[in-house]
Structure 1
Amino acid sequence: MTPEEVGRRVVALLTPVEATASVSGGQAHARATVDVPPAAWADTLRAVRDDAELACDFFDWLSAVDELAGGFDVVVHLWSTRHRHGVLLRTRVPRQTPTVASVVDIFPGAAWHERETHEMFGVDFTGHRELTPLLLPPEFEGHPLRKEFVLASRVAKPWPGAKEPGESEAGGGRRAVRPPGVPAPGEWGVVPAPAGPVTVGDGAPARAPRERPARPPRTPRPGAAGDGPAVADGRARGDRGGDEGGTA
């Protein structure tokens, strides 16, 4: 079946449920894409799996897309091992209450994907019995794949190079400076920045740049100013001494 035929078949199976079929990009890898309401989410996956013409019996992946004010699109890709065609099923949940039915009872392999989507986007899957942290530590706050979540692209680190002249081993090197656009550690994610002095790098209070000690004036070596004439004069004296010794 072509992607267009797959999409029409899914819509026919869901009648009278309102569903919209389209075709994704990708040319030879294009997929039928069917948008369904959240209330028909689990029934749609079951129908696509059990229909003899579709027979999408292989669960590939499930994830979400943050559409900001529009909510979250929950997307699943199913594949037919018998007919060698696939389908993308998609439903949109509101941002205030991002909830949709779990499909673990239909495709047990969806358990891992629903846990990850819940952790990264904050989408709840009703009926999933173990929506526990999968990739992040338990104390982590927020959902890092939401577009309003601030992620630091780099972490400022202490200067790893040699000490500057005049800096002691215990005094540290240069001040750590955050790259442009990277918030202070207290401002990452959803944690508000603490009140107090402005911080840099690892959160230490900002300090004024250290002034280098003035170098002492350089004094010339004894006799350095007369090296040229002295050497020339010594050579002249040596020449004369050699001449005198040869004469004697």
Structure 2
Amino acid sequence: MNAGTAPPVADRFASHFGDRAQLSESYGDITVDVAPTDWLELLTFARDDLDHAFFDWLTGVDDPPEAFLVVAHVYSLSTGSRLLLRTRVPRTAPHLPSAVEIYRGANWHERETYEMFGIIFDNHPNLVPLLLPDGFEGNPLRKDFILAARVAKPWPGAKEPGESGHGAPSRRKTLPPGVPADWGTPNV
């Protein structure tokens, strides 16, 4: 980290977590990466010892081929500092302890992350779908999720070159990104 980082915060992380936490700085904010086993301890430390009691958001990030990142953003009302807290869970067993007991605001965010990425938050008080219609199958924010509607219906935007009648040559028809070649004739 460079000289712009507040040494007391970095020192407090180092003294508490040692080499179990990796710190970095980006645009003046500190990012802390820990193993899933240290996730709840990290959140509790940020809230209780560093006074980052304002929970802003939590989400998942698909990081193929092996893992998902779970990212939480917390804020200190007294100092105005922000922390980005991250952990990595394996795709084969995407489980992480729920943070609802530490930050009540994590409830909705964990439900959304569960629904969109399939990350299971153990001991969550009500881990049920939040946004998608009943019976929806899959996790739409995973990079391997195929958006069938992009194959089944033509794109509603402007016409392809050559279809407008202005004399421009037509482009080769291609499938949308992530759609397998065996899905038939593309309608893009």
**Category of TM-score, reference length = shorter chain:** 0.7 to 0.9
What is the distance in 1 between the residues matched to 2:101 and 2:136? Answer: 29
Unaligned runs of 5+ in 2: 155-172
1:136-215 to structure 2, matched below 5 A, reads 136-151=132-147, 152-153=149-150, 156=153, 180-182=174-176
Which stretch of the first structure deviates more once superposed, 147-156 or 60-69? 147-156
Partner of 2:40: 42
More strand by share: 2
Label 1:33 to 1:155 Cα distance change in 2 as closer, same or farther (>3 A): same
Partner of 2:16: 13
Partner of 1:91: 87
What is the distance in 2 between the residues matched to 1:67 and 1:143? Answer: 14
Cα RMSD after superposing both structures: 2.6
- Determine if contact 2:58/2:73 at 8 Å carries over to the other structure: yes
Label 1:37 to 1:200 Cα distance change in 2 as closer, same or farther (>3 A): closer
Label 1:23 to 1:147 Cα distance change in 2 as closer, same or farther (>3 A): same
Label 1:22 to 1:180 Cα distance change in 2 as closer, same or farther (>3 A): same
Q: Per-residue displacement from partner, 1:189-246 (whole Å, max 9, x unpaired)?
A: 9xx97xxxx7887xxxxxxxxxxxxxxxxxxxxxxxxxxxxxxxxxxxxxxxxxxxxx
How far residue 3 of structure 1 moved from its aligned partner, in angstroms, is 3.7
Letter of the 1:12 partner, please give it: S
1:72 counterpart = 2:74: no
- The equivalent position to 1:63 in structure 2, one of 39, 59, 62, is 59
Instruction: Please state whether the residue corresponding to 1:83 is helix, strand or coil.
Output: coil
How far residue 9 of structure 1 moved from its aligned partner, in angstroms, is 2.5
Partner of 1:22: 24
TM-score when normalising by structure 2: 0.76
Q: Per-residue displacement from partner, 1:148-197 (whole Å, max 9, x unpaired)?
A: 1112447626xxxxxxxxxxxxxxxxxxxxx74259xxxx89xx97xxxx
What is the distance in 2 between the residues matched to 1:55 and 1:144? Answer: 35
1:108-123 to structure 2, matched below 5 A, reads 108-123=104-119
Greater relative contact order, per chain length (Cα 8 Å cut-off, separation 6+): 2
Partner of 1:104: 100
Identity %: 44
